[in-house]
Amino acid sequence: MPILKAETAIHPENLLNQDSTVDTSRRWWAVYTKARQEKAFARHLLSMDIPFYLPLVAKENLIRGRRMQSFIPLFGGYVFLFGNELERTKSLTTNRISTILPVDNQPQLVEDLLQISRLIDTGAPLTVESRICPGDSIRIKSGPMAGLEGTVIHRRGKTRLLVAVKMLQQGVSLEIDDFQLEPLV
């Protein structure tokens, strides 16, 4: 049973699927919010009709002996805003922002966020990785996650696929069998 229903994580729904490079007046910004303000900031952006992406994942909690589910931000403190200069300035009026980081490589961020979104949609258990580890770049060749690209890492004797948002130097990983992987050339 969820504590709270899942909130809007992306606005508009097709934000990552459309070609965001077509609208040259808008660009991606990585917004670092004040502590525990990601969802409130996203609600403000939704009410102002400003496009954003806040990756949320389900988390199981044990409260008074009952299992409850809540939805938490995948990257603590970060919301990805897609707007023009006026919308970026308007977002500052929420008083929930600590820092706004410009995104130098816009297409790379969109590709990274699209892969993160696909991983979240699979429902597989994800582990947040705080630093990018060097390793082999790979692509998943079969299964529901076919086509996803990332880096192979080994943790506690298990093979994991790391999909990263390079700009933040953070990512998520999931356990995967090496027979599903093919090296990127």
Mean pLDDT (whole number) for 113-128: 91
Lowest mean pLDDT among 57-71, 117-131, 161-175: 117-131
| pLDDT at site 36 | 92
Domains of the chain, CATH where assigned: 10-103 (3.30.70.940), 104-185 (2.30.30)
Alpha-helical regions (H) of the chain: 38-47, 85-91, 106-122
**Residues pairing with 56 in the sheet:** 73
- For 19-48, letters b (16+ CB in 10 Å) and e give ebeeeeebbbbbbbbeeebbbebbebbbee
